[in-house]
A and B are shown apart, each in its own frame.
Chain A
């Protein structure tokens, strides 16, 4: 059974860097799939942040400013999200996810999210 679990601080100060890690069990990241991050501000809808292939190729939401960075550590079967210069608008539940895809490298076609983490609430506040 594939399981994803987010971890990281629940409170971040404005202008600082948000760091989250997703630990994957039941499946080896290096075996395939894209792995991504999705966030949901309180009371609002879902927003895809970006994804990473096990080789390290990354894909980001073009509508978001380039404050995000996603990385993968196949030795720990984890992938991570960093968001710098956070503001109150970045307060949200952050989900990590597994994404079936076709293609790889420069461009992958992302199909859907089949597994989600339980979500981690990150609050940006002084």
Chain B
């Protein structure tokens, strides 16, 4: 199992929208609607932002949205704010009771 593929970094200005991609294979992202996204600030534990592809947990801003097309899942953050600057990780169910994470994307708010 290789890690899901994410861009190493993305950036955007306050108020703009950005999208982070997460590319997998037919064994994971392509086969299940079970992609989740996590936000991690330095020195902190990850926080669930999106689950089951496009669902938001209670308390997560509706500026965060998730989608999937084929083998690629995406996280979109609209109305970018300074506090959104963090690392973001995707994760997918990979069959055989296994989870697979992406390599992570560092979001910089300019």
Interface, chain A (partner B; CB < 8 A): 36, 38, 45-48, 51, 59, 61-63, 95, 99, 107-114, 116-119
Contact A109 B101 (CB under 8 A): no
Query: How many pairs of A and B residues are in contact by the CB < 8 Å rule?
Result: 72
Which of B17-25, B46-54, B69-77 contacts its partner? B46-54
Contact B93 A111 (CB under 8 A): yes
A contact face: mostly helix, strand, loop, or mixed: loop
Cβ distance A4 to chain B, nearest Cβ, rounded Å: 9
Contact B51 A45 (CB under 8 A): no
Contacts of A109 in B (CB 8 A): 32, 34, 93, 97
| Binary per-residue interface labels of chain B (1-43) against chain A in the complex, 1 for a CB within 8 Å, 0 otherwise | 1010000000000000000000000000000101010100000
Known: A45-B89, A45-B102. A117 touches B45 (CB 8 A): yes
Contact B45 A116 (CB under 8 A): yes
Contact B98 A48 (CB under 8 A): yes
Contact B101 A48 (CB under 8 A): yes
| Binary per-residue interface labels of chain B (83-94) against chain A in the complex, 1 for a CB within 8 Å, 0 otherwise | 000000101010
Contacts of B100 in A (CB 8 A): 48
Is the C-beta of B82 less than 8 angstroms from some C-beta in chain A? Answer: no
Cβ distance A108 to chain B, nearest Cβ, rounded Å: 5
Contact A45 B3 (CB under 8 A): yes
From A114, which residue of chain B is reached at the shortest CB distance?
B48
Known: A62-B1, A109-B93, A113-B36. A95 touches B45 (CB 8 A): yes
Contact A46 B46 (CB under 8 A): yes
Cβ distance A29 to chain B, nearest Cβ, rounded Å: 18
